[in-house]
Chains A and B, each alone.
Chain A
Amino acid sequence: MDLGYYNARIRGLRGRLLKEADYDAMLKAVDLERYLERLKSTAYGPFIETAGARFVKPSEVISGALRANLAETFDFLWKIAPNEAKPLLKAIFSIWEVYDIKTLIRGVARGVKKDDILEALIPAGDLDQAALNILLGAKDIQDLIQILHTLGSPYSKPLKAGLPQYARTGNIVEMELNLDINSFKFLRSRIEENYLNDRIIREFIILRIDIENILTVFKIAGENYSKEGAQSFFIEGGVRLRRSEFLTFSELKNRDEVLKALKEKILDVDIKEILLSSDPEDIALIEERLESSVENRLARQSLVEPLSIALAASFIFIKIREIKNLRLIARGKAFGIPDDELRRLIIYPI
C-alpha cells in the first residue's frame, strides 16, 4: 500500500497544528473576546468568520468553528485517502461513526429537535454530512436502521438485534451496547492481513478495546453490578484486561479500589505509569491521560514507520487533542477557570 502522497498531505496539515507557544499566547488572553481574536489569526480564522455569521455569543462561535474545522479535516482525510487505506482508516473514524449513530438514536428515540441533533453530530468516515442529513430525516428508530441498511452501513445489523427490546420497552441501551461491542468485532474482522499497516491498526484497535474496558470498570464500580450484569459491557479482543478480571473488578465498591486493582493487574508500561500517578477522585484526568496514551503510541509508531498509516492515525488524534485544548481554553476564559487548572488539563502536542 503506497501512502506516500497521502502522508505528504498529512505532513502538510501537521505543520498547521498549533504549537505549545501558541497555546501559551492564547492562555494569556484576558477574556473570551481577546481569545477569539487570537484564534482568528490561526488556521481557524476562516471557520470563525463563518461561525460568526451564524452565532452571536463568542463561546458559540468558537464551538461552531471548531466543529466545522474538525468536520472539514475529517472529510479531507477521508476523501484523499487511497481506497486500500480506507478499511484501515475506518477503524479510526468508526469512533465518530458509532458516536454519530448513538447520537441519532438518542435524539430520535427521545424526540429531540433535528437541529439540536445536528449540532452534536460530527461527520466522519462513511457518515459524511450528506449521509447524516439523510439519517436525520428518519421518522423513527426503525426507519433510521432501515436507512443505515440502505446506505450499506455495517452498523445496521447490531442495531436491528436491539430493536425488539426497544419496541417492547422503549429502551435504547441494548441497541447502543450491541453497536459498541459489534463495531469492535466488525473492525477486527476486517483487518486480517499481516502487513505493517494492518498490524498498526490491529494494535490500535486492541489498545482502544483495553482502554474502553478499563474505563468501563471505573464507570460501573460502585453501581452494584453482579458479574452477570457486567458481562454485557465487556468488549472482547483486548489483551491487557481479561474478561474474568474485568468481571471481578466490576464488583468493587469504588474507584479507589478499582485503581488499586488495576495498578496490580495491568502490565503495559504506558498504562501502568498513568495508573500509578493517577488520583481516583480525578477521573477526567485519568480518562484524558489514557486517551493520550493512544495518541502517544501512534505518534511513536509514525516516527518509527514514517510511511505507514500510523501518521494519519496519529494526526487524527492530535487534531482531536488540539480541538479539545482550544475548547478547554474557551470554557476556561468564559467561566473563569484559573490558568493553572487549564494548564493542568491541556495536553500539549508531541
Chain B
Amino acid sequence: MEKTPPTRQQLLALRAQAEVIKKGLELLKSKREALMKEFFNIVEESLELRSRLTELLNRAQRDLERARALNGFEVESFAHGAKRDISLNIRVHNVWGVSVPDIEEITLTRSLDARDISPIGVRAEVFDTAKQFESASDLIVKIASKEIRLSRVGEVIRSDTRKINAISEVMLPSLDKRIRVIERMLEEREREEIFRLKRFKAHKEALETV
C-alpha cells in the first residue's frame, strides 16, 4: 500500500479522489450496459444473417456443382467474364465513444443487362447460380459490417469490464483503506491531544493550588 502522510488535507484529497472514481465507475458501468445492449442486438441480427448466408451458400454451391457437372467449361468461361473489381465504402461511426468501422451496404447482384455478357449460348442455370452467389456476397458485406462492429464493441466491453473490476476490486478498496487509516490516525492524534490537554490542565490546576 502507498504510504500517505496522515494529514487532514490528505484525507480530504483522498475522499475527493474516491468520489471522482465512484462517479467514473458509475459512468463506466452505464457505458458497458449500453454497449452490452448494442452487442446483443447485433449478435441476434448477426446470427440470423449467418444462418441465412449458410443456407444461401449451401444452395448456391449445390447449384454450382450441378452447373459445373453439366457445363463445366462454360462455367469457367462465364466466371472469367464475370470478373470485376468491387470497391467498398467504409465509414467510421461513434458508438459511446467507440470508433466502429461501418461498411456501406451495396448491391452486388446484377441484372442480365449489367453482366456485360451475351445471354446466347450461356445456360440459364449458370446465370441463376451466379445470381445466387452474388446475393450471398451482398449478405457477406452486410455480415462483415455487423461482425466488425460486434468485435469492436466486444473488445471495448471486455476492456471496460477489466477497468470496472480493477476500480471496484483494487482501486476503491485500497483508497478506502487509506482513508480509514488516515481517519484512524487523525482520531488517535485527536485523542492524544485531548489527553495531553487534560494532563496539562490538571498539572496547571495542581500548580495553582500549591
Q: How many residues of B contact A (CB 8 A)?
A: 34
Complex interface bits, A170-181 against B, C-beta within 8 A gives 1, otherwise 0: 011100110111
The prevalent SS among residues of B at the interface is helix
Q: Is the CB of B65 within 8 A of A284?
A: no
User: Of residues 72 to 115 in A, which have CB atoms within 8 Å of B's CB atoms?
Assistant: 95, 98-99, 102-103, 106-107, 110-112
User: Of residues 63 to 82 in B, which have CB atoms within 8 Å of A's CB atoms?
Assistant: 65-74, 76-78, 80-81
Q: How far is the CB of B49 from chain A (nearest CB, A)?
A: 25
Complex interface bits, A201-221 against B, C-beta within 8 A gives 1, otherwise 0: 000000000001001101110
Instruction: Give complex CA distance A17, B124 in Å.
Output: 29
Interface check B125, CB cutoff 8 A: yes
Q: How many residues of A contact B (CB 8 A)?
A: 52
Complex interface bits, A245-278 against B, C-beta within 8 A gives 1, otherwise 0: 0000000000000000000000000000000000
**Which chain A positions have C-beta within 8 A of B111?**
223-224
Complex interface bits, A138-173 against B, C-beta within 8 A gives 1, otherwise 0: 000000000000000000000000000000000111
Give the residue of A98, A112, A122 whose beta carbon is less than 8 angstroms from that of B73. Answer: A122
User: Of residues 92 to 147 in B, which have CB atoms within 8 Å of A's CB atoms?
Assistant: 111-113, 115-125, 127-128
Q: Is the CB of B67 within 8 A of A220?
A: no
New contact pairs (5) apart from A287-B125, A324-B69, CB-CB < 8 Å: A102-B81, A106-B81, A110-B83, A219-B112, A287-B124
Interface check A306, CB cutoff 8 A: no
**Which chain A positions have C-beta within 8 A of B67?**
284
> Could you list 24 examples of A-B contacts with CB < 8 Å?
A98-B121, A102-B77, A106-B117, A107-B80, A110-B83, A120-B77, A121-B73, A176-B117, A176-B120, A177-B118, A177-B120, A180-B118, A180-B120, A212-B120, A216-B120, A283-B128, A284-B67, A284-B124, A324-B69, A324-B71, A327-B68, A328-B69, A330-B69, A332-B69
Tell me the total A-B contact number using a CB cutoff of 8 A. 120
Given contacts A120-B80, A335-B65, contact A67 B73 (CB under 8 A): yes
Q: Is the CB of A327 within 8 A of B69?
A: yes
Interface residues of A (CB under 8 A from B): 63, 67, 95, 98-99, 102-103, 106-107, 110-112, 116-117, 119-122, 171-173, 176-177, 179-181, 212, 215-216, 218-220, 223-225, 229, 233, 235, 283-284, 287-288, 324, 327-328, 330-332, 334-335, 337, 345
Q: Is the CB of B66 within 8 A of A284?
A: yes
Q: How far is the CB of A335 from chain B (nearest CB, A)?
A: 5
Q: Is the CB of B72 within 8 A of A63?
A: yes
**Which chain A positions have C-beta within 8 A of B118?**
102, 173, 176-177, 179-180, 233
Q: Is the CB of A103 within 8 A of B70?
A: no
Q: How far is the CB of A89 from chain B (nearest CB, A)?
A: 19
Give the residue of B65, B78, B115, B128 whose beta carbon is less than 8 angstroms from that of A337. Answer: B65
**Which chain B positions have C-beta within 8 A of A121?**
73
**Which chain B positions have C-beta within 8 A of A173?**
115-118
Given contacts A107-B80, A220-B112, contact A288 B119 (CB under 8 A): no
Given contacts A172-B81, A219-B112, contact A233 B73 (CB under 8 A): no
